[in-house]
Amino acid sequence: SQFWRFDNRPEANINDSTFSLQQRELPPLEEGQLLVKNLILSMDATNRLWLGEREELYMEPISLGDSMRGFGLCQIVKSNSRLYQEGQLVSSLTEWAEYSILDANAVQAFVAPKDMPLDLAFGVMSIAGPTAYHGLLNIAHPRPGETVVVTAASGAVGCLAGQIAKLSRCHVVGTAGSDAKCRYLVEELGFDAAINYRDANIEDALRQACPNGIDIQFENVGGSILDSCLKLMNNNGRVVICGLISMYNSAQNVPGPYMFHNSIMKRLKIEGFVILDHAAEFPAMQRYLAQWIQDGSIKFKLHSHQGIEHASTALQSLYTGENNGKVLVKL
């Protein structure tokens, strides 16, 4: 069966020589293992970090020659474990492959909420939803009337963080990389304002969109956008470092942020997190997310690709902004 092999560590952007599609035969199952068919692969910004050699990572980088790793929705074809049965759906860290062998202790049963399509359920519930929920509600604790800025706001995590902030009755401003994405944020998702960071003088635009300053910064991008936001933080503001995607493609550390000064001057609370640490809390968060999707108070777009052969280009779209919503590859 087919799988994507990791061939070359990218020096900057992922390119066509980073991975190659290969054939393999899987060994027989051992005790406690599952043979799964990977149905849907989730493309995540963090995948790029696993291809580098940084020392500071939350997980082992992928070795050259190994199969590419990713989150996925899988169906059990054969079970050598009492925990799961043939036919059951599980979500797991898996491989970019048609079939994989997984350890039964490392997967989670996956049940889509009633009447929700499987791809939508997986797209929202698996990683993006808990990330937005935890970062905004458990770390930033938004209060009605506060101003929340979300970067990469039209992406999977960002659009949810912004909409959950609206449900918390905040003034919500998003940044995104095109006018079309900005219109989507305001006209369809109910953001109060959106800024195209490619066009605007980001600082002027932020000052205009946040007349009362920023109370909560939900950061997905890093670099100069984060700097401009730090400048406008209010006293006792909260800065949630969810992601720094603008830095993932560079091997070297990027200087800055220059406005770190304000962590003292504005008495900021700055907190980063890795959502996988909170897996035990997922079911509780997923119940809220499912309800919001089902009652229409949250909208979520999928950007799906059909066929394992599109996995590499699908992942690359996250770093160019070509994606419009949560990127999935269906096998």
Asked whether position 275 contacts ligand NDP by CB under 6 A, the answer is yes
Asked whether position 44 contacts ligand NDP by CB under 6 A, the answer is yes
Are the C-beta atoms of 225 and 257 separated by less than 8 Å?
no
Stretch that binds ligand NDP, among 32-40, 111-119, 237-245, 250-258 (CB under 6 A): 237-245
Asked whether position 288 contacts ligand NDP by CB under 6 A, the answer is no
Nearer to ligand NDP by Cβ, of 76 and 328: the residue is: 328
Query: What does the block give as tokens for 65?
Result: 């020659």
Nearer to ligand NDP by Cβ, of 35 and 128: the residue is: 128
- Tell me which residues in 177-216 interact with ligand NDP (CB under 6 A): 177-178, 181
The residue from 96, 257, 323, 329 that contacts ligand NDP (CB under 6 A) is: 323
Asked whether position 154 contacts ligand NDP by CB under 6 A, the answer is yes
Are the C-beta atoms of 1 and 26 separated by less than 8 Å?
yes
Asked whether position 123 contacts ligand NDP by CB under 6 A, the answer is no
Long-range contacts of 189-194 (CB under 8 A, 24+ apart): 189/159, 189/162, 189/163, 189/299, 190/163, 190/166, 191/153, 191/162, 191/166, 194/153
Asked whether position 245 contacts ligand NDP by CB under 6 A, the answer is yes
Asked whether position 176 contacts ligand NDP by CB under 6 A, the answer is yes
Asked whether position 45 contacts ligand NDP by CB under 6 A, the answer is yes
Asked whether position 157 contacts ligand NDP by CB under 6 A, the answer is yes
Asked whether position 273 contacts ligand NDP by CB under 6 A, the answer is yes
Asked whether position 51 contacts ligand NDP by CB under 6 A, the answer is no
Size of the site for ligand NDP (CB under 6 A): 30
- Please report how close the Cβ of residue 87 comes to ligand NDP at its closest, in angstroms: 29
Asked whether position 149 contacts ligand NDP by CB under 6 A, the answer is no
Stretch that binds ligand NDP, among 4-12, 184-192, 290-298, 321-329 (CB under 6 A): 321-329
Asked whether position 18 contacts ligand NDP by CB under 6 A, the answer is no
The residue from 20, 138, 321, 330 that contacts ligand NDP (CB under 6 A) is: 321
- Please report how close the Cβ of residue 247 comes to ligand NDP at its closest, in angstroms: 8
Nearer to ligand NDP by Cβ, of 107 and 318: the residue is: 318
- Binding residues (CB under 6 A) for ligand NDP: these are 44-46, 127-128, 131, 152, 154-158, 176-178, 181, 220-221, 242-243, 245-246, 273-275, 318-319, 321, 323, 326
